[in-house]
Structure 1
Amino acid sequence: MNQPNSTPLAIAAPCAGLRIGDLAPDFEARSTVGPVRLSAFRGRWLVLFSHPADFTPVCTTEFMALAKEAAAFEARDCALMALSVDSLFSHFAWLRMIRDRFGVEVRFPIVEDPTLVIGRAFGMVSAQDSDSATVRTTFFIDPKGVIRAMTCYPANLGRSIPEMLRIVDGLQAIDAKGGLAPANWQQGEALLRPPTHDLDEVLGAEDATSWFLRDAGEEN
């Protein structure tokens, strides 16, 4: 049986420099749950995140926290997928250690990327890098395969899982209601209304800000 070779299927350059609004490069690779292909997740949300290495302290805390919140992502019809340069067998050994030591099972797929080809395709590492020691990047991909948000943390700072959930909530609410999510927005709160593009409405507004800054408490 042929094994996936971790080769991206839709890139032209070794370092794509992806931006919000780009289509996420497709790839097929081995993972802890078997072969995975990114495009197979079309139709639902996907959080694709990289970590510097297995058996590292910050990454271990992140994976335990994400595993504990996996049901919360699933409730949002959002899958999780991790990526690192470590081999599949290193992933297995790490997950076994996490389960045996902390009683937490990590069931979302962890993809192996030993040649950095996927990391380079997503711009997580540059073409000149020989390892991913500084990589802690997250891509929030919508059901059409479009990158809707990205975050990047240094290796010595762990991600906030509540913030990852908040980003998913915000993007889904924006798509459903067509509004804008203000600072510190949380699920269930009102969205801001988009500003008017009509000069007469701007000049006729009750005050100098009400044409572009609607109070977050207003109905959407």
Structure 2
Amino acid sequence: MENLDTNNTMPRIGDFAPDFEAVTTTGNLKFSEFNKGSWVVFFSHPADFTPVCTTEMSGFALEKDFFSAHNAKLIGLSIDSIHAHIAWVNAVNEKTGVLFEFPIIADIDMSVSKLYGMLQPGESETAAVRAVFIIDPVGKVRLVMYYPLNVGRNMDEIKRTLLALQVSDEHKVAMPLNWQPGDKVIVPAPKTIEALAERKNSNLEMVDWYLAKKEL
């Protein structure tokens, strides 16, 4: 069995997001200050001027109003220089009219990639895999997604999970399989006999005593 690379750990759900300072396409940035008071969707891509990455970054850029409306900031990363980032942003804008206005971290020394476990040696030693971290306004990691270099992400799923986390936090509920905004949600199971009796007499949609749904 190979030894784990302790310098390339992955933050887990419930951990506080590791802080860092970095050079980005919108200027120098301290992540904890960028994150404060807002949700953050933090995503990595393998390299500038690559086709799948261009479609993904364009997808994030085109959804900027959605994320802004839901108090979520976007921030990207790849192991490229700031000059390569700027050239790529400019090229995509000139060719397609799409502008990447969110910050893109220039992680040429791979320090942030290692901090967030974005380097997967079995996939590549020098390119970050397609990682997505959703981080809440107090700085906790709430969701982690990992995709290989050759498979683009699903933007609808990223948007859906962000909304699911926000609705869950607001209403203290859980989401069933394939939940979409407007669907019924799952109410936490009762933990006492009294609560069980109350549930049986409620107007919840009862599948069983431990699985009950309601509309918000």
TM-score range, shorter chain: 0.7 to 0.9
Secondary structure of 1:107's aligned partner? coil
Matched, 1:33 2:29: no
Q: Percent identity?
A: 38
Aligned length: 205
TM-score, length-scaled by structure 1:
0.86
Distance in 2, Cα, partners of 1:186 & 1:127: 35
- Any runs of at least 4 consecutive aligned residues in structure 1 with deviations exceeding 3 A, and if so which? 126-130, 199-206
State the alpha-carbon separation in 2 of the partners of residues 140 and 193 from structure 1: 23
Other-structure match for 1:165:
159
2:79 aligns to what? 85
RMSD between aligned residues: 2.2
Query: Which consecutive residues of structure 1, in runs of 5 or more, have no partner in the other structure?
Result: 1-12
User: Which residue in the other structure is 2:60 paired with?
Assistant: 66
Query: In the alignment, does 2:89 pair up with 1:95?
Result: yes
Is the CA contact 2:183–2:215 (under 8 Å) kept in the aligned structure 1?
Answer: no
Please state how far the C-alpha of 1:16 moved relative to its aligned partner. 2.8
Alpha-carbon deviation of 1:27?
A: 0.4
TM-score by length of 2: 0.88
Q: Which amino acid aligns with 1:166?
A: R
Contact 1:15 1:127 in 2 (8 A): no
Which residue is equivalent to 2:126?
A: 131
C-alpha distance in 1 between matches for 2:169 and 2:74: 20
1:116-135 deviation per Cα after TM superposition (whole angstroms, max 9, x unaligned): 111111111258963125x0
Match of 1:7 in 2: none
Tell me the SS of whatever aligns to 2:134: strand
Contact 1:180 1:191 in 2 (8 A): yes
- Structure having the higher strand fraction is 2
- Residues 47-92 of structure 1 deviation map (CA, whole Å, 9 limit, x = unaligned): 0000000011100001111111111000001000001101100000
Using the TM superposition, name which of 124-133 and 139-148 deviates more. Answer: 124-133
SS in structure 2 at match of 1:64: helix
